Amino acid sequence: MPIISSPQAFNEEDLYIDLRPIFGRSLFLKCEGFNFAGSVKLKAAAAMVEAAEREGVLTPESILIESSSGNLGVALSMIAASKGYRFLCVTDLRCNPSTRRLMEALGSQVHVITEPDANGNGLLGARLAYVRALCASDGRYVWLNQYTNPHNWKAHFRTTAPAIARQFPRLDVLFIGVGTSGTLMGCARYFRERSRPVRIVAVDAVGSVAFGGTPGRRMIPGLGTSVRPPLLDESYVDEVVRVEEVDTVRACHRLARGGFLFGGSTGTVVSGALSWLARHDGHDLIAVALAPDLGERYLDTIYRPGWLHDVYGEGVLSSDDLIATSRPVSSTRFTDPATRPAAASAAQ
């Protein structure tokens, strides 16, 4: 029985969904949303705060400041409240209204940037410039800077990747979405050091410049970036899959039809993983994808027909993709021994 006295002390690390009943293809989805911050960003937030405390950067007078599309902001709000720090989150228009209210409910201040950077670095560029200006104006601000802080990826090197390796010792391919690239780099570095190769497939949003290309409109927060992630080292990445936002939305709604309400980046990662597996005839591969958060924060966007219509126009939800016809099994918790991770690993 876990008994905790601080909210960051609890995190469900070993929950996976077998997506075959929903998509007809073997893919295990690691759920990172079951903690009090509701997302994978709890790990980076806790690691960065603890490091700043160890290094003496954070004092009781400090005001934590961070640029976040939402989830890191919620995680830092929670940790700041629990440890007695003040926190200012700098976000932008794409931050879900409910995410913003969550941060405020936890006692944080939220500043919303509405105009992109004049130098072509988008809303993220404008957020970063705003944070830099505030830090220059007041020495009490402490910017953990998730975009450059090595404790962001180290958190996943220490926790996420070993947890996956423990449950899937014969893992073939791992799909991870890219924002700051902390999750991707921590996992990729961990698996590179293991003797058995695991293919690392990064999933990015069309319109993101994480791996180069031209910036485009992106409306779903979390995945994708308008500035190249400083933490990203492409030499650790085997392949990149790019996903259109309409495909993200369709994957989210198919998951929801199966009773699993996930956030936008999970739709992106699942859509990218399924298209990669289809192209590589991946039926025999042991594949894991990472679901960064859950869907309730997206009720006003991805799961609201009016928002979908306004943003993507007619028809985004009328696709056949939404009709959950391919249900070979009604429900499964590793009922097929051939796909049970331990059995699969033993067989190889």
Residues that bind ligand PLP (CB under 6 A): 39, 41, 69, 71-72, 177-184, 222-223, 263, 265, 292-293
Please, which residue, 171 or 178, has the CB nearer to ligand PLP? 178
* Burial class (CB within 10 angstroms; exposed 0-12, middle 13-18, buried 19+) of 185: buried
In the complex, least distance from residue 258 CB atom to ligand PLP, rounded to whole angstroms = 20
For 141, counting Cβ atoms within 10 Å of its Cβ (0-12 exposed, 13-18 middle, 19+ buried), the class is middle
- Shortest Cβ 18–ligand PLP spacing (Å): 21
Map tokens 């670095």 to a residue: 121
Q: Strands 16-18, 28-31: parallel, antiparallel or unpaired by DSSP?
A: antiparallel
* Nearest residue (CB) to ligand PLP, 246 versus 291: 291
Contacts of 125 (CB under 8 A, 6+ apart): 116, 117, 119, 226, 227
d(CA 121, CA 106): 30
By beta-carbon proximity to ligand PLP, the closer residue of 90 and 223 is 223
Min dist CB 99 to ligand PLP, Å, is 9
Q: Which helix (H) or strand (E) holds 155?
A: helix 150-158
Q: Which two tokens stand for residue 297?
A: 């924060």
Closest CA to 312 of 206, 166, 240: 206
Give whichever of 45 and 344 is closer to ligand PLP, judged by the CB atom.
45
Q: Smallest distance from the beta carbon of 178 to ligand PLP, in angstroms?
A: 5
Q: How far is CA 198 from CA 82, 201, 287, 334, in A?
A: 38, 9, 10, 22
| Nearer Cβ to ligand PLP (151/199) | 151
Q: Least distance (Å) from ligand PLP to the CB of residue 254?
A: 18
Residue type, 109: Q
* Largest interatomic CA distance in the chain: 61
Nearer to ligand PLP, 178 or 241 (CB): 178
Smallest separation (angstroms) from ligand PLP to the CB of 230:
12
Q: What six digits make up the tokens of 265? A: 């980046």
User: Angle, to 10 degrees, between the axis of helix 245-257 and the axis of helix 264-279?
Assistant: 100
Annotate 294-308 with DSSP letters as a single string: BSGGGTTTTT-HHHH
Cβ-Cβ contacts under 8 Å for 336 (sequence gap 6 or more):
329
Least separation, in Å, of the C-beta of 48 and ligand PLP?
12
> Shortest approach of ligand PLP to residue 181 CB, angstroms?
5
**Given the complex with ligand PLP, which of 246 and 294 has the nearer CB atom?**
294
Residue number with CB closer to ligand PLP (62 or 183): 183
Query: What does the chain come to in residues?
Result: 348
Q: How far out from the chain centre does Cα 295 lie?
A: 12
Q: Whose Cβ is closer to ligand PLP: residue 26's or residue 248's?
A: 248
Q: How far is the CB of 3 from ligand PLP (least distance, A)?
A: 28
